A and B are shown apart, each in its own frame.
Chain A
Amino acid sequence: MEVLREKVEEEEEAEREEAAEWAEWARMEKMMRPVEVRKEEITLKQETLRDLEKKLSEIQITVSAELPAFTKDTIDISKLPISYKTNTPKEEHLLQVADNFSRQYSHLCPDRVPLFLHPLNECEVPKFVSTTLRPTLMPYPELYNWDSCAQFVSDFLTMVPLPDPLKPTIKKEEKVLPKKYTIKPPRDLCSRFEQEQEVKKQQEIRAQEKKRLREEEERLMEAEKAKPDALHGLRVHSWVLVLSGKREVPENFFIDPFTGHSYSTQDEHFLGIESLWNHKNYWINMQDCWNCCKDLIFDLGDPVRWEYMLLGTDKSQLSLTEEDDSGINDEDDVENLGKEDEDKSFDMPHSWVEQIEISPEAFETRCPNGKKVIQYKRAKLEKWAPYLNSNGLVSRLTTYEDLQCTNILEIKEWYQNREDMLELKHINKTTDLKTDYFKPGHPQALRVHSYKSMQPEMDRVIEFYETARVDGLMKREETPRTMTEYYQGRPDFLSYRHASFGPRVKKLTLSSAESNPRPIVKITERFFRNPAKPAEEDVAERVFLVAEERIQLRYHCREDHITASKREFLRRTEVDSKGNKIIMTPDMCISFEVEPMEHTKKLLYQYEAMMHLKREEKLSRHQVWESELEVLEILKLREEEEAAHTLTISIYDTKRNEKSKEYREAMERMMHEEHLRQVETQLDYLAPFLAQLPPGEKLTCWQAVRLKDECLSDFKQRLINKANLIQARFEKETQELQKKQQWYQENQVTLTPEDEDLYLSYCSQAMFRIRILEQRLNRHKELAPLKYLALEEKLYKDPRLGELQKIFA
């Protein structure tokens, strides 16, 4: 219920073109919003062609007058700019105009509800509604078009029910009343009386339903809609009207700010319109709304249908509508009607609100705190901003069995930016079946994984992106006793493999390290037709009955045949009467051939075929075994992924991408250091001398000359010192070397080879040092005069010594 700062903002956005409707107690009201809406601003927007372009991506700020007490707590008024707290003379003038207008209005139409003209803003200052709108262009492309923009606004809004669903502007009224007491009361009373009567009539029903209603109110609007609404036609709501004409908007339509959905102006939920406004003007609907909004004509230039408040701005809008002529006529009509209340040239003052600013974070977060819960009938939708949940959950839809939302039917969870590419998790609570959907890119090429438990060898179906797999596996179905795999696009044309398992044999020898795979009872494999082989040699299906040592083959059907060849091999390792091993007997291969062939009758052929099949059987068994292992691996991987649920971060996301953040920070640090260094190098050569003089005074000519001379002489001294230093070092090195040489010559005979080596290395190093010093000295000698001249030059040009220039100029 808290109204946050965002809330204001969001509402501000809602009004780019808004047609607000004040539901009239009698006729105009909206069924659609059974929930009482605290409406703070009504924005009426007339969209003309040019406006529309801007407005769809514009945001206007409205701060409404009657923020309930809690707003004051949450909004720090002191920080708001001055325009929020006071009214400019022009605004004051406008308010008077508005009051005048409203008086006349209530005089002419005593039985209509008071106008919503100048609600109080958060600083308790009355502000004219139109000035709460400020067209603003936002930097987000998503906010450029109405649909995504409306979606954003609806996400951004938090709905706070009004204390009284029928009275949106209590405070405003109170505020207005003291001023213009005389005219308002009858109108006000009238409406109140009507309301009370209405209320009384339905009092009993309401009392009964009150409790339920309140519960339902917080829930789904549909649920409520199902019941007769006690407040039907009395509720007040404001929404956006987009007028056709600009930016290829073909026809007028409404946008509901709470859902972000668009509705046709014919929609029967919108029972009528009291008034409209945009940032330029304010119109009152003079048309009859007995048939909802269906008969309304949104030609705002027509003063008979739409009574405008300000004349000056009206014109410009008219000219933008198609009927320019009528606009001019209107003007005349207005005058004839004697509506001379205000200065005709009076323009709407500039909006007093600050330009809305949506930070990228807030934009991405969308909803207040990044979370939003929407209740529907028997369903609940929760939304989160991306990266808000550490597991990447962005939305969750829970459907319930009953209206009270206690028994969950199923849960759907959508994820984003998951590293395991999980996209959607679907949990069916009644069957307890969980289904995970993945986007392309999972390391195991998963597409769909539905399961009841993560234990292996249970019911599960795994679908894969077959193009991402080497073996072309599309789907693997498992039950406790079987495993079925479907393939596509394999070079060996395998399309289907079904394996059924027998109960696991208990192993007595406990070699715990080895796995104990279930014995395979039967493997069925099916193949697509291989066009390179003749049909009678192309196996369509082969069944390995492992336990019975039986292999059944069924071949493909030839194009002009209806029967297919079959062959059955039975492997019996027996010993004949003489004790010889029987290798192959004709009864070991029973075959039916569509067109009997010579060579297949041969035992050798059959033997070779059988041997081949034996090898194939081994391979297939191995394959099945590997598939089982793969399932285990997938399950393990899935568990790990679920536990870790790491999220991917785009390399362009500089905020979240740690690496790029580090890099950027390092770069920034480097830049900073570089900058510091540069500053250092630009040490002020005049600083020590200037310090001697009184600060802040301009140098006299004499002072400047003296400063310059001092600086130069100082520099000269430095150069000389440096030269001397180098010279001294040079001499020292030379002397040392000479000493060493002497010592060497004296002791040459007695030296050990190590000492000699030491000496020689010292010599070469010393020589090197001496040479370098010599070079430096020479260089210094060369450069010193140049440096001196350069400094002199600099000093002449130094602005602080500007006096010097004058002398030399």
Chain B
Amino acid sequence: MNQPCNSMEPRVMDDDMLKLAVGDQGPQEEAGQLAKQEGILFKDVLSLQLDFRNILRIDNLWQFENLRKLQLDNNIIEKIEGLENLAHLVWLDLSFNNIETIEGLDTLVNLEDLSLFNNRISKIDSLDALVKLQVLSLGNNRIDNMMNIIYLRRFKCLRTLSLSRNPISEAEDYKMFICAYLPDLMYLDYRRIDDHTASVSLSVSQPCETDSSSPQKKLAEAKHQYSIDELKHQENLMQAQLEDEQAQREELEKHKTAFVEHLNGSFLFDSMYAEDSEGNNLSYLPGVGELLETYKDKFVIICVNIFEYGLKQQEKRKTELDTFSECVREAIQENQEQGKRKIAKFEEKHLSSLSAIREELELPNIEKMILECSADISELFDALMTLEMQLVEQLEETINMFERNIVDMVGLFIENVQSLMAQCRDLENHHHEKLLEISISTLEKIVEGDLDEDLPNDLRALFVDKDTIVNAVGASHDIHLLKIDNREDELVTRINSWCTRLIDRIHKDEIMRNRKRVKEINQYIDHMQSELDNLECGDILD
């Protein structure tokens, strides 16, 4: 199989090749015979070696779901592909191929050891998914930009790196640079860092005035101090930003589960005015500014009330739910323990009676004892089923009680929120009346011509006649009411659907549990019974 690669045509990875390889590399001797006898499924294969086969294209590997180690070295592969399904892969060897870019590795999240030695890669890239990467071999490639090293900083587990015989390894401070930028690295180009301190520090042409006996890492660090500091600073900033965002997201998520997101400020109020051009225009009327200010204050206070109330209620619901789950779990556990005890007791007895049967010689006696045994089995079945039914009843009662309580809670919450929302509406109505008053008085003033102040043109356009202004104010009012209604509806709908889903889930879980348990019991009893039957047959045959 190991012929020199230039003497053969490119080969296709077909089923035959894979089968052959699997068969060759599978279990040996007796086990091998067995394996041959019943065949090996590709998905059971853990390790596969496909070297020196002149493969041009990776293919047909999708069945090897559980593959841990894959060797594809010394082929003529040009593109990394077809590895998407090998999510359990830990060890991947693609050395001595013709690969030009790193790609197609995004699903291999478990990869720890990657070898791309002797390829045509010029850029380290597309490795972001490999968070567990420990060993990376990229020697004998075409990497020529030192900045590729910085990309490797994200691999926190990376300990071994090989970059020799790349254009960048020619650079005079190549080792220094890598040591400086990858401080956690233990081995570089097959050598332990620090072991060759002396040679390196001597070979540095322009050492930054440090003691030449200091370890290599320190030396390297000192040399690239400034750039590294900057880099670190940036990284820290990024990190902090990410964390901030994360925290914000979490906070919002928390509010959302309480169904009161964005109610802890003027968000709702602002949104009321966001699409309300008339309202905005009207706010330029004399006296409306202050009116709006007080209106906003009051409105926000109510919103915050709703928000806080929502959080409190959420807390309450959570405790309720926790208590419920705790109790249910305890009940189930207790029940399981009982079941286990019953089974253990039964097994003890069963075992002894089985051995008694084996030793018994008289056929009638055997039959009698077998009968006794099956009676025992059915007794156990009854006992277990009774236990289960008992639990089902108990749980059902509990669940119903919980359901009632949680529905009550939700109902109360909705009611209270609605009353608070009604306050909002009252405020809006009040505001509307005031605004209308001011508008009409302003109109009158305008009609009479003794308006002192300048009004924006948009606003002035509204004051043509009474209908227009009333309509405008009304439209603004409608928009506001609509916003409030929408918010209320949203809250109510969401909490109701949450409640329904929760209850459904609980019921479904319970049903699932019950079915599983019944199935388990049946399976066990069947097994016991069939074992007994087999024994019977065997004995009769004897």
Please report A residues at the B interface, Cβ cutoff 8 Å.
557, 560-563, 583-584, 590, 592, 594, 599, 602-604, 607-608, 611
Are B343 and A563 in contact (CB-based, < 8 A)? yes
Are B27 and A562 in contact (CB-based, < 8 A)? no
Instruction: Give bound CA distance, A560 to B516, whole Å.
Output: 9
A562-B336, A599-B44 are contacts. A583–B34 as well, Cβ < 8 Å?
yes
Looking at the complex, which one of A560, A592, A599, A607 makes contact with B527 (CB distance below 8 Å)? Answer: A592
B384: which A residues are within 8 A, CB to CB?
A: 562
A590: which B residues are within 8 A, CB to CB?
A: 531
12 chain-A/chain-B pairs, Cβ below 8 angstroms: A561-B336, A562-B340, A562-B343, A563-B343, A583-B30, A584-B34, A592-B524, A594-B523, A603-B37, A604-B27, A608-B31, A611-B31
Are B37 and A560 in contact (CB-based, < 8 A)? no
Task: Kindly list the 10 A-B residue pairs having the minimum CB-CB distance in the complex, ordered from nearest.
Answer: A562-B339, A563-B524, A592-B527, A583-B30, A604-B34, A603-B34, A604-B35, A562-B340, A562-B336, A607-B34
Output the nearest chain B residue to A605 by Cβ-Cβ distance. B44
Are B38 and A560 in contact (CB-based, < 8 A)? no
* Nearest CB of chain B from residue A249's CB, rounded to whole Å: 54
B513 within 8 A of A: yes
Looking at the complex, which one of B33, B513, B520, B531 makes contact with A583 (CB distance below 8 Å)? Answer: B33
A584: which B residues are within 8 A, CB to CB?
A: 30, 34
Instruction: Give bound CA distance, A608 to B44, whole Å.
Output: 14
Are B520 and A607 in contact (CB-based, < 8 A)? no
Output the nearest chain A residue to B340 by Cβ-Cβ distance. A562
B520: which A residues are within 8 A, CB to CB?
A: 561-563, 594
* Nearest CB of chain A from residue B510's CB, rounded to whole Å: 12
Instruction: Give bound CA distance, A604 to B33, whole Å.
Output: 9
The A/B interface has a contact count, at CB < 8 Å, of: 50
Q: Considering the complex, which residues of chain B in the window 502-542 have a beta carbon less than 8 Å from any beta carbon of chain A?
A: 513, 516-517, 520-521, 523-524, 527, 531
B332 within 8 A of A: yes
Are B524 and A603 in contact (CB-based, < 8 A)? no
- Please encode chain B, from 325 to 340, with 1 for each CB lying within 8 Å of some chain A CB and 0 for all others: 0000000100010011
Instruction: Give bound CA distance, A682 to B159, whole Å.
Output: 75
* Nearest CB of chain B from residue A73's CB, rounded to whole Å: 77
* Nearest CB of chain A from residue B376's CB, rounded to whole Å: 16
Output the nearest chain A residue to B351 by Cβ-Cβ distance. A552
B517: which A residues are within 8 A, CB to CB?
A: 562
**Total residues of chain B contacting the partner, CB 8 A:** 25
Output the nearest chain B residue to A580 by Cβ-Cβ distance. B33
Instruction: Give bound CA distance, A560 to B44, whole Å.
Output: 28
A557: which B residues are within 8 A, CB to CB?
A: 340
Instruction: Give bound CA distance, A174 to B37, whole Å.
Output: 118
Instruction: Give bound CA distance, A607 to B37, whole Å.
Output: 13
Are A560 and B332 in contact (CB-based, < 8 A)? yes
Instruction: Give bound CA distance, A23 to B99, whole Å.
Output: 112
- Please encode chain B, from 355 to 397, with 1 for each CB lying within 8 Å of some chain A CB and 0 for all others: 0000000000000000000000000000010000000000000
A557-B340, A563-B520, A604-B38 provided; 16 other pairs, C-beta below 8 A?
A560-B332, A560-B516, A561-B336, A562-B339, A563-B521, A563-B524, A583-B33, A583-B34, A592-B527, A594-B523, A594-B524, A602-B44, A603-B34, A607-B30, A607-B31, A608-B27
- Please encode chain B, from 21 to 57, with 1 for each CB lying within 8 Å of some chain A CB and 0 for all others: 0000001001101110110100010000000000000
Instruction: Give bound CA distance, A590 to B532, whole Å.
Output: 13
Looking at the complex, which one of A560, A583, A603 makes contact with B336 (CB distance below 8 Å)? Answer: A560
Instruction: Give bound CA distance, A611 to B37, whole Å.
Output: 18
Output the nearest chain A residue to B29 by Cβ-Cβ distance. A583
Instruction: Give bound CA distance, A560 to B336, whole Å.
Output: 8
Output the nearest chain B residue to A591 by Cβ-Cβ distance. B527
Output the nearest chain B residue to A563 by Cβ-Cβ distance. B524
Instruction: Give bound CA distance, A592 to B513, whole Å.
Output: 21
A608: which B residues are within 8 A, CB to CB?
A: 27, 31
Output the nearest chain B residue to A601 by Cβ-Cβ distance. B38
Instruction: Give bound CA distance, A775 to B30, whole Å.
Output: 95
Instruction: Give bound CA distance, A594 to B35, whole Å.
Output: 26
Are B38 and A602 in contact (CB-based, < 8 A)? yes
A561: which B residues are within 8 A, CB to CB?
A: 336, 520
B27: which A residues are within 8 A, CB to CB?
A: 604, 608
B527: which A residues are within 8 A, CB to CB?
A: 592
B44: which A residues are within 8 A, CB to CB?
A: 599, 602
Q: Considering the complex, which residues of chain B in the window 436-486 have a beta carbon less than 8 Å from any beta carbon of chain A?
A: none
Instruction: Give bound CA distance, A583 to B27, whole Å.
Output: 14
Instruction: Give bound CA distance, A557 to B520, whole Å.
Output: 12
* Nearest CB of chain A from residue B59's CB, rounded to whole Å: 25
A583: which B residues are within 8 A, CB to CB?
A: 30, 33-34
* Nearest CB of chain B from residue A345's CB, rounded to whole Å: 83
Instruction: Give bound CA distance, A604 to B28, whole Å.
Output: 11
Instruction: Give bound CA distance, A560 to B515, whole Å.
Output: 12
* Nearest CB of chain B from residue A457's CB, rounded to whole Å: 27
B40: which A residues are within 8 A, CB to CB?
A: 604
* Nearest CB of chain A from residue B341's CB, rounded to whole Å: 9
Output the nearest chain B residue to A562 by Cβ-Cβ distance. B339
* Nearest CB of chain B from residue A541's CB, rounded to whole Å: 11
B524: which A residues are within 8 A, CB to CB?
A: 563, 592, 594
Instruction: Give bound CA distance, A557 to B342, whole Å.
Output: 14
B340: which A residues are within 8 A, CB to CB?
A: 557, 562
* Nearest CB of chain A from residue B64's CB, rounded to whole Å: 14
Output the nearest chain B residue to A587 by Cβ-Cβ distance. B534
* Nearest CB of chain A from residue B390's CB, rounded to whole Å: 14
Instruction: Give bound CA distance, A602 to B44, whole Å.
Output: 11
Instruction: Give bound CA distance, A611 to B29, whole Å.
Output: 13
* Nearest CB of chain A from residue B217's CB, rounded to whole Å: 35
* Nearest CB of chain B from residue A597's CB, rounded to whole Å: 12
Instruction: Give bound CA distance, A594 to B524, whole Å.
Output: 7
* Nearest CB of chain B from residue A11's CB, rounded to whole Å: 67
Q: Which of B27, B332, B384, B523 has the most chain A CB within a 10 Å cutoff? A: B523
Output the nearest chain A residue to B333 by Cβ-Cβ distance. A559
Instruction: Give bound CA distance, A563 to B384, whole Å.
Output: 11
* Nearest CB of chain B from residue A68's CB, rounded to whole Å: 75
B34: which A residues are within 8 A, CB to CB?
A: 583-584, 603-604, 607
Instruction: Give bound CA distance, A603 to B40, whole Å.
Output: 11
A599: which B residues are within 8 A, CB to CB?
A: 44
* Nearest CB of chain B from residue A63's CB, rounded to whole Å: 75
* Nearest CB of chain B from residue A600's CB, rounded to whole Å: 11
* Nearest CB of chain B from residue A789's CB, rounded to whole Å: 58
* Nearest CB of chain B from residue A684's CB, rounded to whole Å: 64
* Nearest CB of chain A from residue B381's CB, rounded to whole Å: 12
Q: Which of A557, A599, A602, A608 has the most chain B CB within a 10 Å cutoff? A: A602
Q: Which of A557, A603, A604 has the most chain B CB within a 10 Å cutoff? A: A604
A561-B520, A583-B30, A594-B523 are contacts. A603–B513 as well, Cβ < 8 Å?
no
* Nearest CB of chain A from residue B528's CB, rounded to whole Å: 8
Output the nearest chain B residue to A606 by Cβ-Cβ distance. B34
A594: which B residues are within 8 A, CB to CB?
A: 520, 523-524
Instruction: Give bound CA distance, A562 to B339, whole Å.
Output: 6
Instruction: Give bound CA distance, A560 to B514, whole Å.
Output: 11
A592: which B residues are within 8 A, CB to CB?
A: 524, 527, 531
Instruction: Give bound CA distance, A401 to B437, whole Å.
Output: 112
Output the nearest chain A residue to B40 by Cβ-Cβ distance. A604
Are B343 and A604 in contact (CB-based, < 8 A)? no
Instruction: Give bound CA distance, A250 to B339, whole Å.
Output: 60
B531: which A residues are within 8 A, CB to CB?
A: 590, 592
* Nearest CB of chain B from residue A75's CB, rounded to whole Å: 77
* Nearest CB of chain A from residue B23's CB, rounded to whole Å: 13
Instruction: Give bound CA distance, A232 to B252, whole Å.
Output: 89
Output the nearest chain B residue to A566 by Cβ-Cβ distance. B527
* Nearest CB of chain A from residue B539's CB, rounded to whole Å: 15
A604: which B residues are within 8 A, CB to CB?
A: 27, 31, 34-35, 38, 40
Instruction: Give bound CA distance, A150 to B34, whole Å.
Output: 84
Instruction: Give bound CA distance, A621 to B450, whole Å.
Output: 113
Instruction: Give bound CA distance, A592 to B343, whole Å.
Output: 14
* Nearest CB of chain B from residue A242's CB, rounded to whole Å: 57
* Nearest CB of chain B from residue A524's CB, rounded to whole Å: 13
A611: which B residues are within 8 A, CB to CB?
A: 31
* Nearest CB of chain B from residue A574's CB, rounded to whole Å: 14
